[in-house]
Amino acid sequence: MNPKEEEAKNGGDETANRDSSDIPALLVNTTQIPQPISQAQVQQISPAALAYLGDAIYELYVRMFFLWPQQRPEIYHRLVVAQVRAETQALHLRSLTPHLRSNELEIVRRGRNAATGRPKRLNPEIYQQATSLETLVGYLYLTDYPRLTELLQKLHLEK
């Protein structure tokens, strides 16, 4: 076995031994913005586009959180869906609000105002709050990744 194969094998063993407390560190080390984006560029991105990005980042975080201990894909799916549904996102936004800075509260407000169409089963306020959370996540992913990680670690995700 060559050194690269051995390193890959050893790295695989370490990954198998991780527990869920390693997830935030793993996210910080593996999810990096390809290139920096200026504040002027971020201001040109619509809140709906930030929410679109934030939805993906939030779901990725939740999926990684539930990777350990290993389970069947159906169980992963059930756990993740429970966390990414609008009602849960709205609860998460409310729990984070006391920790938000004034510029982050402004992004939340912009996200709330950008929430237009909604599923009929949802209360409009819940949908606005979920969109606000996604907008905040998208914004912080582009502008302040360490702050995003800090806030995501405050969420009460339950296994």
pLDDT-derived band of residue 68, with 50, 70 and 90 as boundaries?
confident
Give 139's contacts (C-beta < 8 A, 6+ positions apart).
Answer: 42, 50, 54, 104, 107
Task: Report the pLDDT value the prediction gives residue 159, as an integer from 0 to 100.
Answer: 66
Q: The whole model's pTM is what?
A: 0.76
Are residues 148 and 129 in contact, defined by beta-carbon separation less than 8 angstroms? no
Task: Round the CA-based radius of gyration of the chain to a whole number and report it.
Answer: 17
- Using a pLDDT cut of 90, give the percent of the chain over it: 49
Residue from 72, 84, 68, 62 nearest 21 by CA: 68
Catalytic site residues?
A: 55
**In this predicted model, what pLDDT tens digit does every residue of 26-61 receive, in sequence order?**
455 445 555 668 888 888 999 999 999 999 999 999
